[in-house]
Amino acid sequence: MTSRRALLGIAASFALAAAAFCAESGDPVSSTVARSESPFLQEMQERIAGVKVSIIQDAGSREVARIDHPVFRYSDEEREIFDATLWLWTDDGRPIALQKDEAAASDGVPKWTVCFASFAAQNLDVRWPRGGQEFTTKAAGCDFVTIPDPPKPADNDRIVRSQIKQIAKRFSAACSYEGRGRSVARLLTKPIHEYESRKHGVVAGAIFGFASYGTNPDGYILIELRKTPSGQEWVYGCARMTIYAVEVLLDDKPVWDCEAVRPTPQYFDRWTFFVEPRTPGASSP
């Protein structure tokens, strides 16, 4: 007779296998479960707690709220990233900015890599308390464009979400860097985040990531159904979060691109990245 301990071991093996499969398929929830015991998670939560993101307005700045849990988890062996989280700030439901916090290494030297990208229509002021980093964007995070040949918006919310996923499948992307060649960036199968915002006239929207290595997003496509004076309109916007050059195609036609940048931490108009030292714990690399 199989012992209770053996049965529990078999069940645990199946659970871990299922979680790993979901993480590879780009499922944000399951990838969180797969690394729920990560030694990095608590430290990443502590690191993000003091980060402040504010919208710059004529009358001054206004701080926006961050979702209190990571909206996505991933790792990237190719780039020596052991565990990473994506954090999202919103304004009345609409995404304003994303940040990566990565427990990584460079040639075996431990580090934290921070990447921040704006989605906002206005400029943002960002402050990181730990290293005293500050950043002010100089342009809108995404330039939204009307989607050609869109589907007729459904009256049912569930069907609208399905329509957004079908539209996402029309997009493809590729990344390239000097000496590394060009690689296809896979569209992650499930949205990183779904949302709506009455204030901003967004009936429904979703953030999709595309990744050239594993499930590490190099960039994002936001797809929204918006209310307009003449009815409803489908739009999309693209944003980067990589030093690689990125080209995005819609129905196999190029619609957006960005050039590669040097792997030296620096500030750009819409995004930034920097590195902080990391002290490995007893159970972490």
Per residue in 227-280, pLDDT tens? 999 999 999 999 999 999 999 999 999 999 999 999 888 899 999 999 999 987
pLDDT at 172 over 50: yes
pLDDT reported for residue 137: 97
Q: How far is the C-alpha of 229 from the C-alpha of 251, rounded, in Å?
A: 28
DSSP line for 75-114: EEGGGTEEEEEEEEEEETTEEEEEEEEEEEEETTEEEEEE
Task: Count other C-beta atoms under 10 Å from residue 241's C-beta.
Answer: 22
pLDDT reported for residue 174: 96
**One domain for residues 27 and 155:** no
Q: How far is the C-alpha of 239 from the C-alpha of 118, rounded, in Å?
A: 8
pLDDT reported for residue 19: 35
* Contact status, residue 207 vs residue 191, Cβ threshold 8 Å: yes
| CB neighbour list of residue 186: distance below 8 Å, 6 or more residues apart | 210, 211, 212
In a domain, 6, yes or no: yes
**One domain for residues 80 and 24:** no
Task: Count other C-beta atoms under 10 Å from residue 165's C-beta.
Answer: 15
pLDDT at 179 over 90: no
Mean pLDDT of 163-172: 97
On whether the pTM is more than 0.75, the answer is: yes
**One domain for residues 23 and 46:** no
Q: How far is the C-alpha of 87 from the C-alpha of 92, rounded, in Å?
A: 16
pLDDT at 49 over 50: yes
pLDDT reported for residue 283: 52
pLDDT reported for residue 181: 81
Residue 3 is classified by DSSP as: -
**One domain for residues 118 and 23:** no
pLDDT at 37 over 80: no
Per-residue tokens: 166: 């079908």
Sign of CA dihedral 159, 161, 165, 168: positive
Mean pLDDT, the chain, rounded, equals 86
pLDDT at 15 over 60: no
* Contact status, residue 54 vs residue 61, Cβ threshold 8 Å: yes
Domain coverage including residue 86? 35-277
Number of domains in the chain: 2
**One domain for residues 12 and 73:** no
In a domain, 283, yes or no: no
**One domain for residues 263 and 212:** yes
Q: Position of tokens 């299922």? A: 18
